[in-house]
Amino acid sequence: MVKILYSMPLKRNFSMINVKRFHHVAYRCIDAKVTVDWYKEHLNMELTVAIAENEVPSTKAPDPYMHIFLDAGMGNVLAFFEIPNSPDMGRDENTPKWVQHIALEVENLDALINAKAELQNKGIDVLGPINHGVFKSLYFFDPNGHRLELAANTGTTDQMVELKRVAPLMVEEWAQTKVAPTHAAWLHEKD
């Protein structure tokens, strides 16, 4: 019964909601100023909005926060909270470091290669480019320990159409087996 319930959303298309883009995604940061300066210096991302209060709106408890919004291009916004009265940031120790990350797209492969050189010149430890078949990626960390990815798409329209065709089939198979389906194994053939 549980398996039937979990598989249902893939076969339904009832929602009338039309999501436009990320309004923002929000993560915690250690220091808002350090974070603003780092994203400007390393990724040329502008600070567009800062929202701050000294107390929790509902309870009036003193708990100052700084909420910063950075321009990630095309209306997408990457946001952070500094909350100095809370215990130090940790991470989900049961999840490998490579899993949770923030991926930002650059124009093309040349831009990706140039970005690697620029980041390395600024002392950033950069992994990649890693070939994912339809895009290539660099990986590095921001000063808060968040893993960042810069990605450049390399796939053809036909490849993306094929990936979309097999995606629901792959998820269904995975739900049943927990073994990697092979519908898109061609993605890894050039590794």
Residue 59 beta carbon to Fe ion: minimum distance, rounded to whole angstroms? 38
- Distance CA(133)–CA(131), nearest Å, equals 6
Residue nearest to Fe ion (CB): 103
Of the pair 147, 183, the CB lying nearest Fe ion is at 147
The region of 4-12, 47-55, 97-105, 121-129 touching Fe ion under the rule CB under 5 A is 97-105
Cα 117-123-128 angle, rounded to 5 deg: 45
Q: Are strands 147-153 and 135-141 parallel, antiparallel or unpaired?
A: antiparallel
Q: Does 103 bind Fe ion (CB under 5 A)?
A: yes
Q: Are strands 135-141 and 127-131 parallel, antiparallel or unpaired?
A: antiparallel
Q: Which of residues 144-163 bind Fe ion (CB under 5 A)?
A: 149
For the chain, state the CA radius of gyration: 20
Of the pair 82, 105, the CB lying nearest Fe ion is at 105
Of the pair 82, 149, the CB lying nearest Fe ion is at 149
- Residue 132: count of CB within 10 angstroms of its CB: 16
- Residue ranges in contact with Fe ion by CB under 5 A: 103, 149
